[in-house]
Structure formats: structure tokens, C-alpha cells
Amino acid sequence: MANYESRNTRGSDNRNDRSSHSNQRDRNTDHRSYSDRNNRDNDHRSYNDRNDRSNDHNHRNNDHHSYNDRNSRDNDHRSYNDRNSRDNNHHSYNDRNDRNNDRRSYNDRNSRDNDHRSYTSRNSRDNNHRSYNDRNDRNNDRRSYNDRNSRDNDRRSYNNRNSDDRRGSFNNDRQAEGVQVEVGQRFPLTIKRMGINGEGIGYYKRMAVFVPGALTDEEAVVEVTSVATRFMRAKVHRIRKASPHRVEPRDSYADQVGGFELEHLDYPEQLKFKQDIVAQSLERYQPEGYRHYDLRPTLGMDDPYNYRNKAQFQVRRNAEGQIEAGLYTERSHDLVDLPTCSVQMPVTMTVMRTVVAMLQDLDMPIYDEEAKSGIVKTLVVRAAAHTDDVQLVFITNSQKLPHKHELLERIAAELPQVTSVMQNINPGETSLIWGDDTRHLAGEETITEKLDGLAFKLSARAFLQLNPYQVEVLYGEAKKALDLQPGETVVDAYAGIGTIGLSLASVAEEVRGMDIIPEAVSDANENAAANNITNAHYELGTAEELLPKWIMSGFRPDAIVVDPPRTGLDGELIETIMAVRPEKLVYISCNPSTLAKDLVELAHDYRVNYIQSVDMMPQTARCEAVVKLTRRQ
């Protein structure tokens, strides 16, 4: 089965690794190391904005900063892969990333699409269906999503948002305006709240201090690590008064790499925190009626460990000549070897460590970033929770794979659980983890996972949620929110391989979906056929391109479900939805900040019935949410 190109980082930096089949998602979350916790710049930039507010705001007392103040930082609650904010190269775990590069061509095509333009014209016939052009002439509160998405802060990739040289005001040697403080200085600090990236936030002489690893109401002595004009970062030097909710992390390296931002916080409090970050994001963007939204308690796991079905570890040789596989520390290329990992499915770590030992025994040439030489760059292991299939992928710097025959023989003998072995070729120095060329080495070309009674084939780069146990909870909430009735039709936007749409086919009269990756569309249709589903059909293209054409041909959906990448809905799709105005709309979000931003536009025509948060990634600051919206009459 063909594998598809990543559309990296849901920002603009690459093609996402909503991997090939992708729900067009954050597939380069796939590509990032555990460490996306670093999209904190918008958090920090917001302080600059807030300081321009009125003197009344400046004199608020520190204990009662509004959510508005708390939330001017952008959204990313990174998981494993999200904390290494330098580049998308370290994305490893967060599989839902920005597909902007792949979608650019479609935006160009839409600008010249006569059918689309004519559809736009038709919508100007009445006030409820005014044209896209009319809609863009709304007041500033209603300005088009395209304009909003062009802002640097909203459209910047993980990499750009986290690199020090992009931060403008950020400078390790600069002293904060009006506050004399230097890097290395220590002082006592009370943590007032937690930020959307899982860090503690306190105030030193009215300046915000971001402290990873600190919890609300803790008292600590902190050491300044960097200083900006109106905020600073610090690390915990000593905790004077610990939170009653602090627990000992299971992973000793939890404070070094991404994907463990909350492992020191007990699980019930993690669930409360994830509900709160939805509230924080709404408070920041303030969509219509947001104060009255029904924010439901986060749905969590019985056992919030051993759930990740995919391990994507960088491989390097250390100074002693030993081969290591793991993740990079925050803002560096310093690799932390991970012999164990409490949130990974155990089989993924068994295969990973056994293969690392094989590479050591065979003295395999490992890629050296500085010398830009060597072969093996990354190891990827994915397991299917409900079929016991396991796929192993070697990502290499060239087509060569020394000792290939001996290596494959040892894998067959020592790792019988591995049912598929593939090689992906990604030559040279690049910010992408995956290359365009994937080759079959042994076993099957795909593995099969079962979800909600349906079977889905997964090629090496196909996107699938990292938590196979909670994904059924997530999709179950989407079904409940849609509340499809006999005879109703639904559109599955950002369809990927059809996981969401096919799960709705048993209820819907007809399911139509789309994706911009040809292989994803092909696999979605094949998965429909394999599951004997005859009322679902997927086409190549964007929703904003295909929906008007379908409507002009006589098809009008009763419901639309969207599951966008971390950057949120495409601007053209927002306008298309507002023009088509289906009765029901369900938004599955992996980023509360872009969700809240999108609701500013959608809430003009749709009522938000409720927001149900779902914990897909325990021990991290990431949060998913299912939003039920119904059209205003």
C-alpha cells in the first residue's frame, strides 16, 4: 500500500505528518520528539500585549489575574514530541500536525475555481447566505479567517515559535523592564496557577515567571534561566511547600524531555487542568456567549499509562561509542537515551531496545548530525492494540542499509511479534523525520488495527491516534454530538483514512469525505470496501473546493464533522461551512486555543451546545475536545 507524504507541522513549517492517510493532522507531531511543550512563545508574547492594556489592568492583584491575562499565549500542549521546539525534526509523538504546505496548492486552485466563485455568488442572495466577499466586509470582530491566519503569531510553526532568535524581545542577557533581575538569580516564588503548557506561573514584582515542573499553590525558590522585557523563565531550585497533588514521576527523565509535562501531578488533577485550559482559551478569544458554554469534565483513562501505540526515537552514537535511542532535551540536540518509558505500550519498547542492541552488535553506521554522515537516523515502532500486529521502520540517510540480510534474519528470529519491516529514506540534513520514499523489507507492507468493530490498514506513515483505547471514547462522543437520524447525510472533512466517517456509516444515510492526499483517499475507500460499507465515499480535494460542487450537483449535507490539525480550521473551510450552513456541526479539536479562535467566527451562526474534553494523552498538557454545534435559526 502506498505511503504518503507528511504535511509537516500544523504551523507553516513543513508538510503535516498527519501522515499520509492523515485526518490531515498533526502528522508531524509524529515527527516531533516528545517535546512539543515548547510552544510557549505565544504565552510569553501575550504578556507584551497585556502590558499595553490600561493602568487598571496593570494594577490588578497578582492572585486574580483574569483568564484573559492568563491566555494570551498560544496553544500547544505538547506531548512527547512537542517539547523540542527547535524544529519539527524532533516531533516524534504528536501525530497531529500542521499541513499547511500541502494545502497551499489547494488555496491557489480555489482562487481560480469558477465553480467555487459561482457558489460564492449564490450565497449573496440573502442575508443568511451572504457571499464570502460580503462576509469578509464584516466589522473587525468578523474579519475573515484567512486574514486572521496570516498573523505571524497564529500561523507560526512549532519550530519558529520556539526558536530563541525568532522571539524579538527574548534575550537571555537582557534585564526585564523596570525589574532588576539576571540569569542565575534566585528568589522565592508562589505559584498562582498553571499555564496551558503545564508550567507553573508566579509573579516577581508583578512580572510573570514561567516555571516548568511547578504546581499551583506551591512555594519554591526558583532560579532564573532567561529574561525578557516583561516576563522571565526559571527552574525550581528548591520546593519549600509542595502541593498535596504532587506525585513522584515514574520516569526519571520526565523533567528532561517532552511528553511528561504533568507526570508529577496526580491524575484527577490532570483531568481538571485539561478542562481548565479549554476555559482559559475561551477566555482569551471570547467567542459569542462563551461565558455560558457547557464545559463538561474531562473523560480520562482508568490506567493513564502504557497507552502510546507508537515510539519514534532518534538514534545516535554517544562519546563512548554506544548506540542510544530516545528523545532530545528541550531546545537542544542532546539525546536522552530511553531504556524504559511508562506511557508507551510495552511491546513498542521491547522491540525498540532489542533493535538498538542489534545495531550495536552489527556495528551499524549511525547518522552523525555534525559530520552529516552515517546511515540510521530514526527507529519507529508502531503496535496495533487490537490485532497484535507490530511494524518496524528504519529511517535512513541513504538507500543503503548495511548488514540488511543479517539484521532481518535476527529480527525474524528474536522478534516474532514484528509483522512488518519497512525502510524510509530521508537523505541529508532536513527538519523532516520522514522522507518521500518508503520501501518494503520484510513481512507485510501494512499492519491492521481494529476500532469500534472496523478494521483499518495502516501503512508506515498513515496517521492513527496515539491512544487506541481512548480513540473509541473520542469517536463515541463525536457520534453522540452529531446525533444523526435516519435519512441524514454527513460530510467527513479532514477525513484521512476514514476512521471517523466510517464509524458513522452505520447510522448515516450517506457519508462523503475528502482529503488532499491521494493515498489517503484510496485507503479510505479501500477500508470502506473491506468493512462492507457501501454508503461512504471519499474524494480527493479540500472541503472548501468539493462542498460547493457537491451542493450544485444536488447533495446538501445535514451534518459536517471536522477534525483539523493543531492550526485549526482552514480559513476557506470556515467560510464554506458558514455558507453551506448544515444543521449540525461537530468540531473535534486537538488544540483548545485554535478551537476558541475558530469559534469566534462559527458562533455567529452556530450555537455551542457543549464542549466535552477527552484526555487522549495522559501525563502531558495536551487536551482533545468534542464540540457540539447547532445552527441558529
3-class state of residue 446 by DSSP: coil
The one catalytic residue in 196, 341, 590, 595 is 590
With beta carbons less than 8 A apart as the criterion, state whether 513 and 495 touch: yes
The residues, any chain, with a CB within 8 Å of residue 214's CB and separated by 6 or more, are 189, 191, 199, 200, 202, 220, 222, 236, 239
Q: How far is residue 424's CA from residue 204's CA, in Å, rounded to a whole number? A: 49
The residues, any chain, with a CB within 8 Å of residue 534's CB and separated by 6 or more, are 528
Q: How far is residue 198's CA from residue 208's CA, in Å, rounded to a whole number? A: 15
How far does CA 101 lie from the centroid of its chain? 16
Q: How far is residue 29's CA from residue 593's CA, in Å, rounded to a whole number? A: 17
Q: What is the DSSP letter of 175?
A: P
CB atoms within 10 A of CB 417: 12
> And the C-alpha cell for 48?
507584551
**486 burial via Cβ count (<10 Å: 0-12, 13-18, 19+):** exposed
CA-closest candidate to residue 616, choices 473, 497, 507: 473
Q: How far is residue 558's CA from residue 630's CA, in Å, rounded to a whole number? A: 11
For 532-549, b/e burial (b = at least 16 CB within 10 A) is ebeebbbbebbbbbbbbe
Residue 623: active-site member: no
CA-closest candidate to residue 557, choices 457, 489, 496: 489
Q: What angle do CA 369, 370, 372 make, to 5 degrees?
A: 60
**274 burial via Cβ count (<10 Å: 0-12, 13-18, 19+):** buried
With beta carbons less than 8 A apart as the criterion, state whether 385 and 309 touch: yes
Q: Residue type for 621, please?
A: A
Q: How far is residue 171's CA from residue 165's CA, in Å, rounded to a whole number? A: 9
Instruction: Give φ, ψ of 68 to 5 degrees.
Output: -55, -45
Residue 420: its H or E element: strand 420-425
**586 burial via Cβ count (<10 Å: 0-12, 13-18, 19+):** buried
> And the C-alpha cell for 175?
534585564
CA dihedral 332→323→309→416, nearest 10 degrees, is 170
- The per-residue DSSP string of 323-351 comes to EEEEEEBTTS--EEE-S--TTB-HHHHHH
CA-closest candidate to residue 215, choices 251, 253, 284, 261: 261
User: What are the catalytic residues?
Assistant: 590
